[in-house]
């Protein structure tokens, strides 16, 4: 689905969500209140300015104190890879955006990610992965690094990696693999209205971070949850 189709489905009566330079912001009527929307459209890389613009919208929402849900719609590239962005502290700007979303969550704003295109690396962590629950639409294409790059770094032939990707979800790009990790909670149905589906996600928000439990149940991260629990138990017991 395109962003326009998503917004039309979410807000059949119209909305005030705009896209400027690939950055999405605005809101629309939702369940008797409103749904705030931020995001990245058109496979746009996320740089220092974009991260601060989006964080500003999130902090405005927290300041408003209305506890309106925040939808983070993402079809992005990775972080913008440039000397200038790193010089200016891209790590701080991306972390700031993630912190803003995590703060909004603490202040009672349900935060829902909606991955409808590509996303990768730092841009993915700072946006979709900083929400309480992350949904995706069929066709979404999250990745950490594309396979040719993985091949270059691991010095393994691309064909070998493609073959290995059939047997494990742990390294190759793709929605199914991020579902198996527990990073993506659910895939929505593009053929029925999105509003009720988002409403249901919000009604069933997990109390805690359950991504490692999902990852175990789905077989993508067989040991992460157990490792975390053993460490926590030993630390508290010691």
Partner 1 sequence: MAGPSAGPDRDRLSWYEASARQRLDALLDPGSFTEALGPEERRMSPHLPLFDLPRAFDDGIVVGTGTLDGRPVYVAAQEGRFMGGAFGEVHGGKLVGLLRAAVEGRPAAVLLLLDTGGVRLQEANAGETAIAEAMRAITEVRAAGVPVVGLIGGRAGCFGGGGLIAGTCSRLAVSEGGRISVSGPEVIETNKGAEEFDSKDRALVWRTMGGKHRRLIGGADAFCDDTIASFRAAALSLIADAPAFDLDTLMAEQARLRERIERFGECRDGTEIWARLGVNDPDAVPSLDTRAFDETVARIGEAAHDAR
Residues 200-229 interacting with partner 1 (rule: CB under 8 A):
209, 211-212, 215, 220-229
Element (H, E) at 236: helix 224-237
Instruction: Give, as ranges, the residues between 2 and 41 that touch partner 1 (CB under 8 A).
Output: none
Tokens of 125: 């962590």
Torsion of CA 197, 69, 116, 174, to 10 degrees: -90
Considering the complex, state which of residue 149 and residue 192 has its C-beta at the smaller distance from partner 1: 149
Site for partner 1 in 112-171 (CB under 8 A): 121-122, 124-126, 129-130, 144-145, 149-150, 152-154, 156, 164, 167-171
| Binding region for partner 1 (CB under 8 A) out of 8-16, 31-39, 175-183, 196-204 | 175-183
SS3 61: helix
Distance CA 145, CA 57 (A): 29
* Rounded least distance, CB 131 to partner 1, Å: 9
> Which residue number, 113 or 117, has a Cβ lying nearer to partner 1?
113
Q: 77-106: which residues touch partner 1 (CB under 8 A)?
A: 79, 81-96, 98-100, 102-103, 106
Binders of partner 1 among 56-75, rule CB under 8 A? 56, 59, 62-63
Residue 129 DSSP label: G
Backbone φ, ψ for residue 57 (5° rounding): -65, -40
Q: CA-CA distances (angstroms) from residue 236 to 110, 135, 230, 232? A: 30, 33, 10, 6
Is residue 175 at the binding interface for partner 1, with CB under 8 A as the rule? no
Site for partner 1 in 182-201 (CB under 8 A): 182-183
Quick one: tokens of 110?
A: 């349900």
Quick one: 25 or 177, whose CB is closer to partner 1?
Answer: 177
């Amino acid at each position: 689905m395109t962003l326009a189709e998503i917004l039309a489905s979410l807000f059949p009566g119209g909305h005030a969500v705009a896209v400027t330079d690939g950055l999405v912001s605005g809101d629309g009527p939702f369940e008797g209140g409103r749904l705030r929307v931020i995001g990245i459209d058109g496979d746009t890389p996320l740089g220092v300015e974009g991260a601060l613009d989006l964080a500003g919208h999130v902090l405005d929402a927290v300041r408003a104190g209305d506890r309106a849900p925040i939808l983070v719609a993402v079809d992005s590239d990775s972080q913008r890879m440039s000397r200038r962005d790193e010089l200016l502290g891209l790590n701080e700007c991306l972390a700031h955006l993630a912190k803003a979303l995590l703060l909004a969550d603490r202040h009672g704003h349900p935060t829902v990610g909606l991955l409808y295109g590509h996303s990768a690396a730092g841009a993915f962590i700072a946006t979709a992965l900083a929400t309480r629950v992350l949904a995706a639409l069929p066709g979404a294409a999250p990745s950490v690094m594309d396979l040719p790059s993985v091949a270059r770094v691991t010095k393994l032939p691309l064909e070998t990696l493609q073959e290995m990707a059939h047997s494990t979800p742990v390294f190759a790009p793709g929605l199914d693999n991020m579902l198996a990790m527990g990073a993506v909670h659910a895939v929505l149905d593009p053929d029925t209205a999105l509003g009720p589906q988002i409403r249901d996600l919000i009604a069933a928000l997990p109390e805690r971070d359950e991504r490692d439990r999902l990852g175990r149940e789905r077989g993508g991260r067989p040991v992460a949850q157990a490792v975390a629990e053993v460490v926590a138990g030993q630390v508290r017991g010691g």
